[in-house]
């Protein structure tokens, strides 16, 4: 299996040479390929952290753990010095109030003020909500992570070991619809765990580098 670093570099080259160029919703534009795949062998305990660019590993792990708790408010992230989700609630606050507060002051107020954090720090039903508290049409909440772990332990031959983040009924209330959105697991007859993650959209220079390493490590340890 080709080394993760070279898989990444090969993909970057492929996008640059053969990618489809177009303007997107951001107005910045993209050059992209559809359906690219990378495979990582984690059997030796390694994690595919790239060295081509700096990867903020601790930030990535803190974000993943935040997802797994089911939280959707940025307050606990800010208390852990993670600021990667501040843009969306800050933009919403500025638009709704007309207050051109700085990001630093906004984040400080989220941390210090309970009521302000509850009103302006929430991102809506993003990743953690869908993973741990997916709302069914009957009003019942479903903990997809708990169900997955139970199946891995008690029914590892199942082909239904997966969880999902793309809740169509709640997309319009999310600060950002999920990019990484479907996660499926497979256990071999000799007990080896395989994981497959589908990502509808990935920024190869930032998001893919950031998320693939931590998702791979979490996937390898859930067993």
Strand partners, 73: 122
Residue 171 per-residue DSSP state = G
SS (H, E, C) 79-116: HCCCCCCCHHHHHHHHHHHCCCCCHHHHHHHHHHCHHH
Residue 201 per-residue DSSP state = -
Measured on CA atoms in the order 92, 98, 103, 105, is the torsion positive or negative? Answer: negative
Catalytic residue among 15, 42, 179, 187: 179
Active site residue 179: yes
Residue 54 in contact with residue 92, Cβ under 8 Å? no
Find all residues with CB under 8 Å of 62, minimum gap 6, and list them.
77, 80, 82
Active-site residue set: 179
């Amino acid at each position: 299996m080709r080394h993760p670093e070279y898989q990444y570099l090969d993909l970057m080259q492929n996008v640059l040479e053969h990618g489809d160029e177009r303007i997107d919703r951001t107005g910045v534009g993209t050059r992209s390929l559809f359906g690219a795949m990378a495979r990582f062998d984690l059997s030796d305990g390694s994690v595919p952290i790239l060295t081509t660019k700096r990867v903020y590993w601790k930030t990535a792990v803190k974000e993943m753990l935040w997802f797994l708790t089911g939280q959707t408010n940025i307050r606990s992230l800010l208390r852990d010095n993670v600021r990667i989700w501040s843009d969306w609630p800050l933009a919403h606050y500025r638009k709704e109030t007309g207050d051109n507060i700085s990001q630093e002051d906004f984040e400080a107020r989220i941390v210090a003020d309970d009521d302000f954090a509850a009103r302006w720090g929430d991102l809506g039903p993003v990743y953690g909500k869908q993973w741990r508290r997916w709302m069914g049409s009957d009003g019942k909440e479903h903990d997809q992570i708990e169900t997955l772990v139970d199946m891995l332990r008690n029914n590892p031959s199942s082909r239904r070991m997966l969880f999902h983040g793309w809740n169509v009924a709640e997309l319009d209330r999310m600060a950002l619809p999920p990019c990484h959105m479907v996660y499926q697991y497979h256990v071999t007859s000799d007990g080896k765990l395989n994981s497959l993650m589908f990502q509808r959209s990935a920024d190869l220079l930032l998001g893919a580098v950031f998320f693939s390493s931590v998702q791979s490590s979490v996937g390898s340890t859930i067993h």
